[in-house]
Amino acid sequence: MGSKTKQKANHLNEKPGLHVWWRLLRPHTLTASFIPVIVGTMLASLDGEFNLLVFLAMLFAAMLIQAATNMFNEYFDYKRGLDNENSVGIGGTIVRDGVKPLIVKRLGFIFFGLAIILGLYICLQSSWWIAVIGLISMLIGYLYTGGPVPIAYTPFGELFSGGLMGTVMIGISYYIQTLQITSQVIIVSIPIAILIGCILLSNNIRDLEGDKENGRKTLAILAGRERAISLLKWLIISSLGLTIIYIGFGLLPIYSVISLLSIPKAKFAVETFRANTTNVGMIPAMAATAKTNTIYGALIALSLIFHIIFPFSL
């Protein structure tokens, strides 16, 4: 590793050893996989159904698929020449740590294989239709940065990530516990789907200039920096607004009002984006966006647990 690369790595607080592989997982993005599974499972528990082993299998399968998607992202962005030793927001496993690209790609497929094994168990406990949905999810994860027209290069990345990791994942997590799906579950999933889409939008705001130079047409590029930040703000507001509406209509318990405690983190994210224009300076804003989803989702799940223990209706 050259001196410039070392300086960059130190500036990003990157460390050698096991930390290399931990960064490859992009742990700050894994919130988009485990929060939907937890919320979907808690909604099933609210209806009196909970199987711990099925829940754990779904939880780890979702995280494996998300991590594998991150690995393919690292591999294909490198192969297309988008990543270099100064790139931020990536694991840096290839361009800074010298891990062979093929190893990263193969590791992604290994993670997919492990997810398939867990998926087989889930199917045995529920329905083989889950296998179809799971394979489609993995295909989309691969095509996010792979294939002739990567989804990440289009304005539809937020829609795919939010819809798949939010609504679909919550729906599956609910279905494998109850063997049914309801309109209420789909409706309740929308705020989380929006917040997961916001994680990708924040990533694209940070990478806007670099993505534009490399020919991407992301939503952030098409909207422009200031409008993209405003869009991020209003998407978060709409997510929290829907939560209040759901509480009013009885779709969520009154306890779900605690999810509004995620507002300070969301506010910090937007304000930090507005105050910084460098990639490194915007990293805390992207991290805060991901944490907003984590805090919101965790508090929604906690509110459902409260409602199971202490039922209360307006």
Could you report the per-residue pLDDT of 27-81, keeping only the tens digit for each?
A: 777 888 899 999 999 999 999 999 999 999 999 999 999 999 888 988 888 887 7
- CB-count burial class (<10 Å; 0-12, 13-18, 19+) for 47: middle
Q: How confident is the model at residue 259 (pLDDT cuts 50, 70, 90)?
A: very high
Q: What is the pTM of this model?
A: 0.88
Closest to 153 in 3D by CA, of 106, 204, 110, 89: 204
Angstrom CA distances, 172 to 31, 68, 300, stand at 17, 19, 18
Look at residues 202, 295, 311 and name the one whose alpha carbon lies nearest to residue 243. 295
Predicted confidence (pLDDT) per residue in 141-189, tens digit: 888 888 788 888 899 999 999 999 899 999 999 999 999 999 999 999 9
Mean pLDDT of the chain: 88
